[in-house]
Structure 1
């Protein structure tokens, strides 16, 4: 089929690459170049870079307004495919391709409708992650579902690693759905169950509460890593926690109590400690957690979260 593809981050790249080998991608719609790095250099999105590599026309749009709608309508695409574009598709664009738009969403809908499904699922401690392909409708992530897939993710994977796995499996799922739409065998069903919402994360979502159980603390760490980042306060200063795993169940520490081992810092929670191996103090670069701890003036009376 003749498609128009919309997406922006690296999570959308596997689907773009897959569809470009199987169908006629008339153009790729993505967000405009964004300033990155310390020097704030304007940089094309991952999707824009891959589209250029594949020789596909690129439409850069901050929002899908009348101008973007006219450009897309002129393509004569039969179907629109969207993966994490970062903007809403409204009428009349929603009906512009003959078969409308389908969306790859990284959750088992109707769970975690919204901007941060993987992150919110990890924070909630969900045992299953997955992907869904559904028909885009005006309501948020509420359209009929063509297919879902449960995806196995490593038990200690952070949000970026989990999303990378889901993106690859999701590309396979989208490929199957687009093929079924092309040959007329596609069937979709209404979503069933009570929806849960996955709003975009804020900096406050990354704050670790050491009074909670280790399971809850580690689940939040996984969900907010790398963005917006897990953090705590030590001696009144913000400390970002970059790498951590569940610690030794035999170590009995009070919530927020910090003890150094040869390879990590153990920080007490409401149950077993969290083992922290890499941190980033406020105003400094990333460093080994034990090295940072050794540089503290007073390590006897300092606690995380204080």
Structure 2
């Protein structure tokens, strides 16, 4: 039986922890390493990580020490762990920590390494338009996601998958991959393969500013950006009272619907797009003359113009409001009559 220390923090790490803890024939999870409780919500109440909550439920000891502290090595060795399993822990482990466990540390990464090393592989794969991704279990080294590979599995990216959808599937599939790879490693039944050399794209973390939607690009690019940024950090734009949406055009400048509708727009408010689809251009209701960033509605539909076809908003969240169907929001905001007269008289 392999004695494992599990390191992880967010929801996507919980399936991996539960899988290892549930396989008592092959593993003993002797401790869980996660971040300290952090302030959450409006009240800034200290809240445990999802992994800590799962560990407490499973009656597994929890470590919250900083791996950079000199005392951490002794705390780590005291657990009796032979190997470490990491899923989205969120901190870099230095050489002395990596050497502290006799059988090493093994990371579950949500991409087909060596492609998309880094913090946001799922988001970047969707944004780039990949149709296939996967999960990789590799031995942790000092380089960023560069260690030798134990096992990989593939997963298709659906045309409407958000990063949240895809992460949920990869977390569940990856938990099986992690367990089987660690079992085979412990029994000497696996030969690790070094990653091929070459120039590969790095999956940099997506910031709040990155998630500001551009509408001066083709509709497929708008769709990918929204899906990649959902649910985190959340795709957003600025909504003006006149029913015009403005966004960053990639050069730090505002991109929207042109001077004829930019006049007297008044105060703009942040506006989140939770779900959207490229509009069906065969539908006669879909406006064909929307400029990038201009909004139009009917009783059942809300569209925003892009550089090509419009994109249809399905679920949104306006500032200070709950998430809701886009058409319900538009009726409540009384945008429909004004926007239709301005943008699409034939509706």
SS at 1:27 equivalent? strand
Of residues 99-108 and 13-22 in structure 1, the stretch that sits farther from structure 2 once superposed is 13-22
Q: 3-state DSSP class of the match of 1:206?
A: coil
SS at match of 1:122: helix
Aligned residue number for residue 281 of structure 1 = 318
The aligned counterpart of 1:249 is: 281
**Equivalent-residue separation in structure 1 for 2:68 and 2:168 (angstroms):** 26
RMSD: 1.7
Map 1:45-56 → 2, pairs under 5 A: 45-56=49-60
Matching residue of 1:218 = 223
Match of 1:259 among 286, 296, 301: 296
Please say if residues 66 and 72 of structure 2, whose CA atoms lie closer than 8 Å, have aligned partners that are also in contact. Answer: no
CA distance in 2, matches of 1:262, 1:187: 60
1:64-101 per-residue CA deviation (whole Å, 9 max, x = no partner) reads: 43232221111221111111001011121111111110
Secondary structure in structure 1 of the residue aligned to 2:202: coil
**1:263–1:277 Cα contact (<8 Å) kept:** no
**Which residue of structure 1 lines up, in the alignment, with residue 117 of structure 2?**
113
| 31-40 or 281-290, larger mean C-alpha shift | 281-290
Paired residue for 1:174? 178
What are the residue-to-residue correspondences of 1:33-112 with 2, within 5 Å? Answer: 33-112=37-116
Aligned position for 2:265: none
Structure 2 stretches lacking a partner, 5+ long: 241-267
User: In structure 2, the residue corresponding to 1:205 is in which secondary structure?
Assistant: coil
Q: Secondary structure at the match of 1:179?
A: helix
- Paired residue for 2:7? 6
Q: CA separation in 2, counterparts of 1:10 and 1:107?
A: 17
Indicate yes or no: 2:192 matched with 1:188: yes
Cα offset, 1:34, TM superposition: 1.6
Moved more, 207-216 or 161-170: 207-216
SS of structure 1 residue aligned to 2:270: strand
What's the CA shift string for 1:117-148, capped at 9, x where partnerless?
11111111111111101110111111111111
SS of structure 1 residue aligned to 2:210: helix
Decide which of 120, 126, 130 is 2:130's aligned counterpart.
Answer: 126
Cα distance in 2, alignment partners of residues 126 and 152 from structure 1 = 9
Could you say what secondary structure the match of 2:274 adopts?
A: strand
Larger-Rg structure: 2
CA distance in 1 between partners of 2:231 and 2:300 (Å): 22
* CA distance in 2 between partners of 1:263 and 1:59 (Å): 51
The reply to whether residue 21 of structure 1 matches residue 22 of structure 2 is: yes
The aligned counterpart of 2:271 is: 239
Residue 209 of structure 2 corresponds to residue 209 of structure 1: no
Alpha-carbon offset, residue 254 of structure 1: 2.6
- Which of the numbers 309, 313, 336 marks the counterpart of 1:272? 309
How does the TM-score come out when normalised to structure 2? 0.82
CA displacement at 1:234 relative to structure 2: 2.1
What is the CA-CA distance between 1:301 and the residue it aligns to? 5.2
Q: How many residues align?
A: 302
Give how far 1:226 is off: 1.1
The ranges of structure 1 where at least 4 consecutive aligned residues each deviate by more than 4 angstroms after the TM superposition are none
8 Å Cα contact 1:4-1:25 kept in structure 2:
yes
Q: What is the TM-score with the length of structure 1 in the denominator? A: 0.93
- Unaligned 5+ residue runs, structure 1? none
